[in-house]
Structures are given as structure tokens and as C-alpha cells.
Amino acid sequence: MAISGGATTTTVDPVTPVLAVRHAGAGRRRAKRRRGLVAWLFMLPLVVVNLLVIAGPGAMSLYYSFTDWTGIGGANFIGIDNYRKMFHDSAFVDAFLHNVWWTIFFLIVPMSMGLFGAFLLSRLRRFLALFRVVYFIPYIVASVVSASIWQNLLSPEHGAGKLLGINFLGKSSTALGSVAVVNTWSWWGFLVIVFLAAMQGVNPSLYEASGLDGANSFQQFWHVTLPSIRPTLMFLGLMTIIWSFLVFDYIYILTQGGPAGATEVLSTLQYRDAFENQQAGYAASIGVVLAMITGIVVAA
């Protein structure tokens, strides 16, 4: 401030506002860094668990896939011999084709059943909660329990097999389909519940408008319901493909991959090579291929 001829003149320092802006910017950056640090601290336990449970074993599997390790003792590096052997191994090719068949079956049959069941339930106005619980029960029952029940139901000694004269699980032509049907019984209820939740989120005005245009129930389902739940449909389709290539429990409990390899899939073949044939290195290479297939499906 300066006084000249009785008048007061105020002089503004041009540097002060610039410094204030810089300090404010620096404060915001520090606050942003602190928030980022806090977020990473909360994420740290999950990152550590993933490194120990997923990344670590995954890296070890990748290494052992290039060895002839038996699962005990040291491992001898053999390069890509396991992969070379794999694609000339008829057991691997058959198991892979069974996985492909299983994937196609579950993309068509359980998905269609889930969509149809959810659409019917979405039309109910009473007892909806009861039906949702009833359909979901098979999914939450342990696979060992479900498989044991169905094993008795299909038994050629005192079940449907005896009544129809068919050994469902002991005949090569029916074994894989029978296991798929058993697994469908527990899986489709989950699909019904998820599809039903998606359908309940569809805007009712779309159905009202289509009804005024003369659309029947099937036309509403095809032109209104399916387009509206497309994200859920794509997600469950993706999960079905991934799960189909990782299927293990029902097949191993019911048939152990038999008879004569008729129900062998990549996961059961991997288990047998690792723990029965002492070919852990070869089993690791099968695991790497499964991981690659899953990664390709997710990326696509």
C-alpha cells in the first residue's frame, strides 16, 4: 500500500495468487495420493492372497509343464515335449472333444430350460418366492449328495436302469449324456433364479406397448425379454463355457471318467495323470492349456 498526494494506492502482488493456486493444486495431489494409498492398503490382503494362491501356483505349473516331474523329488527340464505329446495323445483329444460336447450341451439345454422356467415364473403373481426356493435347492445341495442320489436312481440293479434295462452310467453310449443330465438338474435352478432377477428388471411399459400392438407371450419373450436381458444372457453364457471346461465333480463322482474313457474330460484326465500315473509335469501342461482356453474365452 502506498500514499501519494493524499490518495491511497493499493499495490497487488501478482505472485500471491499464483502461489495460492500452486499450493491448492499440490494439496489436491497429496489428498489424491493419500486416497490411492489407502485404497491399495485395503486391497493389499487380497493382492497377497491372489499372489500366494493363484499367481504363485500358476507360475509353478507353467514351469513344471516343461518338465517330466513325477510330483515327488526333482524335475528335469524337457522343453515342449509335454505339449508335443499332448496333441498326439488320443486320450487328450477324446477328453477335449468331450469338453466341447459338454459345453455345447450346457449352452443349449440348461440355458433354454433356465430361460423358459424364468419366463414362466415371471408371469406368476402368487407363490413366486416358494418356487424360487424350490428351484434353487438342487444348486445348493452338495454335489456329492446329489451325485449319490442320482447314482441310486439310475442304478441298473434297483433304479431306473433296472426298470428300463439300461445301464446309464456303465454304457459308453449313454454315460456322458447321463452325467450331463444329472448335472443339469443342479445347474438349471441357478440359471432360473438369475434370469428371473434380470427379467424382473425389464420395464413393464415395454410389455404393455407390445401387448397393445397385438404381440402374444412368445413374441413378447422373443422381442422384448431377450433383448432386455442380453447382458445377463451373455454373462451366463460366458460362465457356462468356462465352467464346462473346468467340470470335474459330477463326472469323477459318478463315473471317474469311465467306462473306457467315455466320460473323460480334461480335468479328470489331468487328475489321473497327476495322482495315479505320476506324470505331474504332463498334468501341469494340461492345466496350462485349460488356463489358455479360459483366457481366450474371457478375452473374446
> Which of residues 6 and 55 earns the better pLDDT score?
55
Last residue of a domain, which of 39, 64, 89? Answer: 64
Q: How does residue 25 score in pLDDT terms, banded at 50, 70 and 90?
A: low
Are 117 and 238 contained in the same domain? yes
* Residues 34 and 94 reside in one and the same domain: no
Q: How confident is the model at residue 3 (pLDDT cuts 50, 70, 90)?
A: very low
What are the distances in angstroms from CA 98 to CA 51, 95, 142, 188? 32, 5, 24, 20
250-283 per-position pLDDT tens digit: 999 999 999 999 999 999 999 999 999 999 999 9
156 inside domain: yes
CB contact at 8 A, 107 and 240: yes
Q: What is the CATH number of the domain that holds 246?
A: 1.10.3720.10
Let me know if residue 34 belongs to a domain.
Answer: yes
Q: Is the pLDDT of residue 101 over 90?
A: yes
Q: How does DSSP assign 189-256, residue by residue?
A: HHHHHHHHHHHTTS-HHHHHHHHHTT--HHHHIIIIIHHHTHHHHHHHHHHHHHHHHH--HHHHHHTT
User: Looking at the domain assignment, is residue 19 inside a domain?
Assistant: yes
72 in a structural domain: no
Q: What pLDDT sits at residue 2?
A: 47
pLDDT at 114: 92
- Pick 194 or 50 by higher pLDDT: 194
Tell me whether residue 7 is in a domain.
no
Does 96 lie in the same domain as 45?
Answer: no
pLDDT band at 15 (very low <50, low <70, confident <90, very high): low
The cell for 202 is 425389464
Domain identity same for 103 and 244: yes
Average pLDDT, the chain: 87
Q: Are residues 41 and 154 both part of a single domain?
A: no
pLDDT band with cut points at 50, 70 and 90 for residue 19: low
234 and 263 within one domain: yes
Q: Which pLDDT belongs to residue 190?
A: 92
For the residues 164-181, what does the mean pLDDT come to? Answer: 93
Q: What is the pLDDT of residue 56?
A: 87
- Residue 204: what pLDDT? 87
172 and 53 in a single domain? The answer is: no
pLDDT of residue 14: 57
Q: Is the pTM of this model over 0.85?
A: no
Contact partners, residue 255, CB within 8 Å, separation at least 6 = 169, 175, 179, 262, 263
Predicted confidence at residue 298, as pLDDT, reads 80
At residue 178, does pLDDT exceed 90? Answer: yes
- Over residues 209-225, the mean pLDDT reads 88
pLDDT of residue 294: 86
Tell whether 59 and 102 lie within a shared domain: no
Let me know whether 36 and 109 are in one domain: no
Domain count for the chain, please give it: 2
Average pLDDT over residues 60-73: 92
Nearest Cα neighbor of 200 from 282, 123, 117 is 123
Q: What is the span of the domain harbouring residue 24?
A: 14-64
In a domain, 101, yes or no: yes
Distance, in Å, from the CA atom of 169 to the CA atom of 182, rounded to the nearest integer, reads 11
Average pLDDT over residues 58-76: 91
Question: What's the whole-number mean pLDDT along residues 72-93?
Answer: 92
Say how many residues make up the chain: 300
Residue 63 has a pLDDT of 94
Asked if pLDDT for residue 297 goes beyond 70, the answer is yes
- In terms of domains, do 118 and 235 share one? yes
Has residue 51 got a pLDDT over 70?
yes
Stretch 94-123: mean pLDDT, rounded?
93
Same domain membership, residue 243 and residue 134: yes
Is it the case that residue 16 has pLDDT exceeding 50? Answer: yes
